[in-house]
Structures are given as C-alpha cells and as structure tokens.
Structure 1
Amino acid sequence: AKRIIFLSILNILVVGYQAWLGSIVVSTNLAQWVVTVHMLLALVILVISIYTYNYAKQLHKEPSVIMYRILWLKGFLFFTLIVSIAQIVLGTEVREAIDVIAKSLSFGNRATWVSRIGEVFSYHRDMAILVIICNGIIYKMVIDRFSGKAAPLLTARFILLTLFIQLISGFALAYLSLPPVAQALHILFSTMLFSLQFYLYLLVYRTRTYRQ
C-alpha cells in the first residue's frame, strides 16, 4: 500500500511538471527539443499510472504459471518497448521538421511538406516496419503461451488492433497531405500502443514457467 501512495504522489508531481513544460511548449512556439521532452515525459506518466494500476490489481494475487518458457517473451517485450520509444522520438522529430517547413512556406503548399522533411521521415517510415515485425512476433509468442480469456492474450489482441489503426493514420499523414484528424489519431494510438506493450510486459513479468 505504501508503494501505491508513493507512486500516486510521484505521478501528481510529474503531471504538474508536465503541465509547466506544456506552457513552455506554447510560449516557445513549439521549440523542437521541448516537444520531444514533452512527449517523453507523457510516456513517463503513462508508465507510472499503468504500473500503479497493475501493482494494485495484482497485490493479493499469485503469479500465473504456464508450461511454456516465458523468458524469451519477457526479453523480446522489453526490446519492443525500446523500439517503440525510439519510434515515438523519431515521430516527434518528424513533427518538429513539419513545423519548421510549414513556417518557412507560410503554411502554404501543404502537399509538399512531407517530401521536404528529409532523412528523419525515412527513418521513421523504416522503423515502422520494425515495429510491425516486433509486434507480430510478440503476438505469436503470446498465443503460443496463453489461451482462453487470459489477460496477456486479450492485451496482445488489442495491440494488433491499435497497431492497425496506427498504420492507417500514418499512411494518411504521408499520402493525404497531413490531415489534422490523422495527426491526432497518430499521436493517440502511438501512446496507446506503447501503453498496451508496457501493460503486457507487466503481466508477463509476473508469469512463471512450471517446473516439475
């Protein structure tokens, strides 16, 4: 219980700092480095919130036990989380580049903005392929180890659904001149994908392999 109180207070403090940093983002007119830090801090808030929720939920429960070895899944989930964070950082850099381009063109010629971004967009697009592969592998590993209404299996299915929507919004941004709705959806579902991956990691972390 003390850990829950500590984490809740910590999250309030981080949210307060995030609010202050948000005012800096506005006052600096979307300064490039501030946007990235602001996004990363949002992920920290999500991590604290999800961990606190899961800790409270699992406080009086015994760890799950399955027959299939779980170590590889734990390690690969951690790797996928790192990949997702890197992809989100690249996404903020793409957004920062778009802001610079838009201002330089006086917010005209919107259809040409993406083509002017440069290498960072190529990195972001190529990293998306790695994200797809990683999440596909995770789903296969989860369905091999869990069945029925197991929480990890349900979470893995939500990950695939979220990834699908994320990809559609990404294609819309790249090929439909950055529609505002797609921008909002892309940011929303990128954080949802990260949140689901982290929650799945916590669920799997408490799982043990049965040993005779």
Structure 2
Amino acid sequence: MQKRFRKLAKISLVLVYLVIIAGAVVRMTGSGMGCPDWPKCFGHYIPPTDVSELQWLPNTFFKKGQVIIVDETLQVAISDLTTSKNFTPENWEPYTKHDYAKFNVAHTWIEYINRLFGALAGLATLALAFYSFAFIKTKKTWVFLSWLVVFGMGFQAWLGATVVYSVLEPAKITVHMVMALVIVAMLLYIIHMTKTKEEETVNQKVAIFPLAVITLLLTLFQIVLGTQVRQLVDHQIDVVGELSKDLWLSTIDWRFYMHRTFSLVVLILNILLAQRIYKHQLDFRKINWIMGFIVLEIVTGMTMYYLEFPFATQPLHLVLASLLFGVQFYLVMEAFSSRKRYKSL
C-alpha cells in the first residue's frame, strides 16, 4: 500500500512538471491570453477552432455564458437564446475582467492544452489525497501533506485565473511560477517520506546540509530573477516585434547582469558541494543530476544571449531550472535525514 501511495505521488509530480513544461511553451509562443476567460475558453469547455464560432450570426442558438467578439469586445450571453435578424445588446453583457478581445486558434489551443495538463495534475493530487486516508491512523503527516498539495493546486488554479484577468501582469506570472515550485517541493517531500528502509541514504559523517541549503536558495533566487529578465524581454518584444531578436536585449538592466553573475556563483558553490561529496565518497548520487542540469542551464542561457534566442531555448531554460530546483530540494532532504540519523546513533 505504501508503494502504491508513493507511486501515485510520483505520477502527480510528473504531471505537475508537464504543467510547467506546457506553461513554458505558452510563454514562448505568447499564448497566455489564448483563452481570455477562465476556467472555460471563450465560454466553451472545448474551445473554438475558427473565428466564425465567435461571431454573432442571425438565427443561431447560443448557450448562456457563451462568448462572442463584437466590435473588438467580448460579449457574454446572459441566457440561452436564439438570435433574430439583428444584434440585440440586451441579450448580452460585456466581459468586464479585461478588455482583451482577440482570437488566434494556435494560441487558444496551446493555452487550452496547458489547462488540460493542469486539470490532470489536479485530479492526480486529489486521488493522492483520498488515498492518504488509508494511513490516517499511522501516518497523519502523510494525510496532512497530501491535502495541503490539493489546496496548493487550488490556489495555483486561482493564481492562473488572476494572471489571465490581469492580462499577464509580470508580478503575478512570477508568483504563479514560484507556487508551482512549492507544489513540486511538497510532492518531493511526500516521496521522500514514503521511502522504504532499503532506499534510505547511508549515514554520513561529513555534513553537506548547510551548503546544500545555500545552493537551493540561490537556485530559487535565480529562478525568480530569471522570470524578471524574461519579463523585460517580453516587454521588448512588444516594442520591437518578434522578428527583431537582435534588439530583444537592447534595453537590459541590472537584473540581467545580476542573473548572469549569480549563475557563476551557483556553479561554483555546487562544484564545492560536488567536490565534498566525491572526495568523501558520500552516497548522494543526485549531485550528478544537479551538475548536469547546471551545465545545461548555463549553455542554454549563453545560447540565448549569443545566438539571439534560437527556437525552444527559452522554455528549455525554464524547465531545466525547475528540474534543477526539484533535484536540489531532494538532495537537501536526503542530507538532512542522513545527518539526523547519524546524530541519533
């Protein structure tokens, strides 16, 4: 039963990472407003595939809540209705969350797929929470954390709605990303707690916990700073256009230079951490993944800067950062539990 619970937690983690990947693709393609309402998409559970589905037509049936575009504004059907020969404003009310009223079929379906992954991840975490009741007498912490993940997913969904309502306000996008990492951390904690005795890390005499925590915090700082840099780039794209990639970094400020400098700090500290683990032959194999992700992060960052943002480098950079955070967080938990067991001897 414990193995099944742990397996379900791993499935939930994979689905959450798929949401992060889908979200990165949404940002890369500029599809964040592909569905201008929430949780539906233009008032549909399955979004339209052609702009004609969003246009007013005479003698046509519209369901309550269905959205159409009229004079570059979104109009919502007040009730089920069949249109007459002329548009009747009394049957419609303007969408008041924002004034964005554009349709791009590619953007719409990219954003819709992102939401589908979010729904799947939500269902998986909900299943995990209900399954946790099997341990309510012996492992109350598992039950508490499982339901905390569910509430976290609910809060994340609400954040997603506020991002849409704000027409992709930069600060809200950053909070949305950080919350995704919080959910990743909670699921990893559940996975770590449910390890069997055979999977436990051997007690270590050399402490790496403090340095591991520092590297984790620096990575989190780098991610937040990276989202700020990305927002600068997005703003510049709005100014100069998507085709003028050579100008995307023409107005960079201190945040970019700090982000670039701290990447070297993160690399050096993790090299020191890896050196300590390798030197004393400690049983923390996650360090290999950490070093690999850091190298790839630096390579994708340099590629974007020197080669003018090749295709897919932006979402890849973000996804690698989230994977790096997850592996570092797990290493921190292993280092802490190992130190705790050693002190109890």
The answer to whether the aligner puts 1:29 opposite 2:167 as a matched pair is: yes
CA distance in 2, matches of 1:205, 1:94: 33
Give the C-alpha shift of residue 172 in structure 1: 1.5
CA distance in 2, matches of 1:211, 1:17: 38
Cα 1:100–1:55 shift into 2, 3 Å: same
Aligned residues of 2:289 and 2:327 also touching (Cα < 8 A): yes
CA distance in 2, matches of 1:58, 1:197: 21
Deviations 1:113-143 (A, max 9, x none): 1232222111110010101111111111111
Aligned residues of 1:35 and 1:96 also touching (Cα < 8 A): no
Q: Which has the larger radius of gyration?
A: 2
- Specify the code of the residue in structure 1 equivalent to 2:259: H
Tell me: higher relative CO, structure 1 or 2? Use CA pairs within 8 A at least 6 residues apart: 1
Moved more, 126-135 or 20-29: 20-29
Among 137, 146, 155, the residue aligned to 2:272: 137
Give the C-alpha shift of residue 62 in structure 1: 6.8
State the SS of the aligned residue for 2:194: helix
Among 258, 261, 264, the residue aligned to 1:123: 258
Cα 1:63–1:169 shift into 2, 3 Å: closer
Question: 5+ residue gaps in structure 2?
Answer: 1-138
CA distance in 2, matches of 1:57, 1:207: 13
Moved more, 200-209 or 87-96: 200-209
Count of residue correspondences: 205
Cα 1:139–1:62 shift into 2, 3 Å: closer
State the SS of the aligned residue for 1:65: coil
The answer to whether the aligner puts 1:64 opposite 2:167 as a matched pair is: no
Aligned residues of 1:65 and 1:210 also touching (Cα < 8 A): no
State the SS of the aligned residue for 1:178: coil
Among 155, 162, 185, the residue aligned to 1:17: 155
Moved more, 98-107 or 46-55: 98-107
Match of 1:43 in 2: 181
Match of 1:2 in 2: 140
Give the C-alpha shift of residue 107 in structure 1: 3.3
The answer to whether the aligner puts 1:76 opposite 2:211 as a matched pair is: yes
State the SS of the aligned residue for 2:308: coil
Q: Percent identity?
A: 29
Aligned residues of 2:201 and 2:334 also touching (Cα < 8 A): no
Match of 2:66 in 1: none
Cα 1:12–1:99 shift into 2, 3 Å: same
TM-score by length of 2: 0.56
State the SS of the aligned residue for 2:242: coil
CA distance in 2, matches of 1:136, 1:161: 11
Give the C-alpha shift of residue 211 in structure 1: 9.9
Give the C-alpha shift of residue 59 in structure 1: 7.1
Give the C-alpha shift of residue 206 in structure 1: 1.3
1:80-95 matched pairs, under 5 angstroms: 80-95=215-230
Among 151, 155, 160, the residue aligned to 2:291: 160
Give the C-alpha shift of residue 164 in structure 1: 1.4
State the SS of the aligned residue for 2:312: helix
CA distance in 2, matches of 1:189, 1:127: 16
